[in-house]
Structure 1
Amino acid sequence: MNLFEMTIAILIVAILAFSLFYTLVVGRQHKAVQGGVDKQIPDHVQKNVYAKNPVFLAYGIFFALLLFIIFFIAITFY
C-alpha cells in the first residue's frame, strides 16, 4: 500500500468507528429518556430488532460491499 491508500484506509476506519460510537451513544440516550413522544414499535420489528434496524442494515451492506470490492481487486490484480 502506498501512502495515499493507507491514509484513505485510516480515514475510513476512523469514520466507521466514530459512526458506531455515536450510534451507541444516541441509542443509550434514547433509552434514558422516558417520554411518550414515540409511537408503539410494530410487533414484527420488535421480534427482529437487529434485522429491521436501518443502522445495522447499513453496516451489514457496507461490509458486504467492502468484502466484494476487496475480493474483486485481489482477483483482478494478483
Structure 2
Amino acid sequence: MTYLTMVLGVIALLILGVSLIYTFKVGKLVSERKSTYDTQINEKVQEHPYMRNPIFLAYIIAGILALAYIFYLAFTISW
C-alpha cells in the first residue's frame, strides 16, 4: 500500500467513526423529542435542514472521497 492510500484509509475510518457517533446522538435526540408533542425545531436545523441530516452528510462525504480517489488514480496511473 502506498502512503497516500493508507492516509486516505485512515481518514475514511475516522469519518465513519465520527458519523456513527453523530448518528447515535441524533437518534437519541429524536427519541427524546418523540416523547413530547409539537416541539420547536432548532433554529440551526431550520436554517440548514439538509446539512444537519447524517444520511445526507454520509452521501456528501462518500461522494467527495470517491472523487478524490478517482482523481488520485487518474494522476498516478501511467497509461
Matched to 2:58, the amino acid is Y
Q: 1:7 to 1:73 in 2, by over 3 A?
A: closer
CA distance in 1, matches of 2:29, 2:55: 17
Q: C-alpha separation between the residues in 2 aligned to 1:14 and 1:73?
A: 18
Query: Root-mean-square deviation (CA), in Å?
Result: 3.1
Question: Runs of 5+ in structure 1 lacking a partner?
Answer: 41-51
Q: TM-score, normalised by structure 2?
A: 0.56
Structure with more helix by fraction: 1
The SS at the match of 1:53 is: coil
Q: Which runs of 5+ in 2 are unaligned?
A: 42-48
- Moved beyond 6 Å, runs of 4+: none
Where 2:40 maps in the other structure, the secondary structure is coil
1:26 deviates by 1.0
Distance 2:72 2:7 in 1: 16
Matched, 1:74 2:73: yes
Taking CA–CA contacts closer than 8 Å with sequence separation of 6 or more, which of the two structures ends up with the larger relative contact order?
2
Change (3 A) 1:22 1:61: same
In structure 2, distance between residues paired with 1:7 and 1:77 = 15
